[in-house]
Amino acid sequence: MQPIYFAVGLSVLFALLFSFVRSRTSQSADTIIGVRAVLDKIRAKQPGAKIVLCPIFPRGATAQDPCRVRNDVVNREIRKFADGKAVSKLFAGRHHLAASVHDLAFQLGDQRAADLPHGYAVVADCQTAGRGRLGRSFISPSGSGIYISLLLRPNIPLERMHLMTVGAAIAACEAIQETAGFTPDIKWVNDVLMHGKKLCGILTEASIEAETGQLSYVIVGIGLNVRTPTGGLAPEIADIAGCLEDFAPHAVRRNALAASFFNHMESCCDLIAAGQTDALIDRYRSFIHFLGQPITVIRFDKREPATAVGIDSNGHLIIEQNGQRSTLVAGEISIRLPEQTR
């Protein structure tokens, strides 16, 4: 049995994520040999490639579960393949189990700020306490989605920080295009939809140094609904949420989806760091399909009708009300399209 792997490009970075072992009867030695063979082949075909090994996620209910024991053996051995130069490793294992990947990323960012590099990722099959904006819970069942938090250290001024959220929405849409075979919409600021159904949640938070006022790091969290979980979607989200495989012409591989998101997020980060915001916003606008339509603006629980006019060079939404145009800034309001207004 060969392990599942994928390539992730972050600055010509190839990451192999051995996140699942399909057969519970497979032998640890076979998996280790397979990983070694993959590394050797990549080095032969791409001698300059940088490889990041991401060990197998913990499986089984307890540390004594035979599947987890086998996976722990594999993880210990494949860590030895990392030389710190061409081959590096990301963490995985029982020491990093947490209810929320976003909270875990923040804990690691605070505790190991000097050690963890830009682009460090925490990836989970499920969460028991996932969270979204304004402290809302984010339902994250096993086997049906993929949940990622990225630790980023962009060298950018604070006034550009909101563009990280824009970049995450772009990366999500481009990853869906690439791996699921359809083009979703963005509802400003960062809701990714298909036919009015929300496909993913994005949460961007930052740590700012108190003394200097400079950006220390950003955590970009995303949860993508890939397929309907066993038993169906939770009743509280069944009317508003959708899954990629509801619209995709084929099954969606979660590992390929994550790899594509990393690639496109890196591209967006590069544009933001270089100050090439026009190129970034052009990509953002390509997924905005509600311009010219009536919307409902919600401010402090007050609803106001408006028309969506455009997206300005900062990613802010331009609206028109009673013949007057104004600009909405991310974080101040939310909007709902007609089919989502109740």
Whether residues 103 and 145 fall in one domain: yes
Whether residues 239 and 209 fall in one domain: yes
Last residue of a domain, one of 97, 124, 152: 97
What digits encode the pLDDT tens for the residues 139-180?
A: 566 778 888 888 898 889 999 999 999 999 999 999 999 999
Torsions phi, psi of 135, nearest 5? Answer: 75, 10
Residues of the chain scoring pLDDT < 50: 1-25, 91-100, 342
pLDDT of residue 126: 72
Q: How far apart are CA 5 and CA 15, in angstroms?
A: 9
Whether residues 134 and 228 fall in one domain: yes
Domain that holds residue 331: 294-340
CATH number for 82: 3.40.50.1110
Whether residues 108 and 243 fall in one domain: yes
Whether residues 232 and 120 fall in one domain: yes
Whether residues 298 and 260 fall in one domain: no
Whether residues 153 and 262 fall in one domain: yes
Q: How far apart are CA 248 and CA 215, in angstroms?
A: 38
Q: What is the DSSP string of 263-274?
A: HHHHHHHHHHHT
Last residue of a domain, one of 270, 289, 308: 289
Whether residues 116 and 260 fall in one domain: yes
Residue 297 DSSP SS3:
strand
Q: How far apart are CA 17 and CA 256, in angstroms?
A: 10
pLDDT of residue 320: 96
93: phi > 0 → left, psi -120 to 50 → alpha, else beta; which?
A: left
Whether residues 121 and 201 fall in one domain: yes
Whether residues 221 and 81 fall in one domain: no
Give the chain's domain count.
3
Last residue of a domain, one of 274, 289, 304: 289
Whether residues 226 and 322 fall in one domain: no
What digits encode the pLDDT tens for the residues 28-67?
A: 888 888 888 888 888 888 887 777 676 666 555 566 778 7
The share of the chain scoring above pLDDT 90, in percent, equals 35
Task: Find how far residue 149's CA is from the centre of its chain.
Answer: 6
pLDDT of residue 271: 97
Whether residues 62 and 50 fall in one domain: yes
Q: How far apart are CA 77 and CA 326, in angstroms?
A: 59
pLDDT of residue 140: 61
Strand order in the sheet with 13-17: 13-17, 50-54, 87-89
CATH number for 275: 3.30.930.10
